[in-house]
Amino acid sequence: MRKEKREKKPKYAIIKDIEIGEGTRVYDQVNLYKCKIGKNCKIDAFVYIEEGVKIGNNIKIRAFTFIPEGIEIEDDVFIGPGVIFTNDKYPRARGQWRLLRTKVKKGASIGARAVILPGITIGKYALIAAGSVVTKDVPDYAIVAGNPARVIGYVINPKFRKKVKEFLTNGPGELRGKRADWPWP
């Protein structure tokens, strides 16, 4: 006997006026307002996404992430747990302010607890180290780390690629996920 698969509505969530693409999974205790989320995404619990945010296809957003108005995330991006995006350079409780837009380009990865300040672009396939504070644009393929984040390498460097391949082949821990093409061109 075949069981029919049902879409489960997230519990304790506020989901208002959003577009969600086919195959996207949204978990419990999220707040999503007037945003657009593409196909085959995973939105973990305790994620808050504000009005006007655009999220591409095949995005993974881990728990405790905040994405305010003015953020655009292209396809194939990973956002680690506890990542905070900002959209106002001089935040105040009241009065005027300027929305500064941020763009995360295709294939970028942002490590846990990174803070992304407003008005920047994170380049294609860039890698943001956990805990980094990103204060300026990140070039395509760059690896950045620190506070403030600085370029420490590039994902297209043969030494880096070899290091990642070696770790996936012989490193400690349990290998997970499906085999896929190399994540960086």
Phi, psi of 132 (to 5 degrees): -70, 150
Q: Is 87 left (phi over 0), alpha (psi -120 to 50) or beta?
A: alpha
Look at residue 153 and tell me if it is in a domain: yes
Whether residue 177 is contained in a domain is answered as no
What three-state secondary structure class fits 104?
A: strand
pTM of the full predicted structure?
Answer: 0.90
In a domain, 2, yes or no: no
Whether residue 1 has pLDDT greater than 50: no
Q: Is the pLDDT of residue 40 over 60?
A: yes
Q: Residue 14: what pLDDT? A: 79
Q: What total of structural domains would you count in the chain? A: 1
pLDDT value at residue 7: 58
Residue 105: per-residue pLDDT: 98
- Position 182 in a domain: no
Three-state DSSP state, 131: coil
Question: What range does the domain containing 155 cover?
Answer: 14-90+98-170
What one-letter code names the amino acid at 47?
V
pLDDT at 66: 98
In a domain, 39, yes or no: yes
Res. 6: pLDDT tops 60: no
Residue at 68 is within a domain: yes
Across 19-41, average pLDDT: 93
**Mean of pLDDT values over 113-139:** 98
- The reply to whether 84 falls in a domain is yes
* Domain of residue 59, CATH code: 2.160.10.10
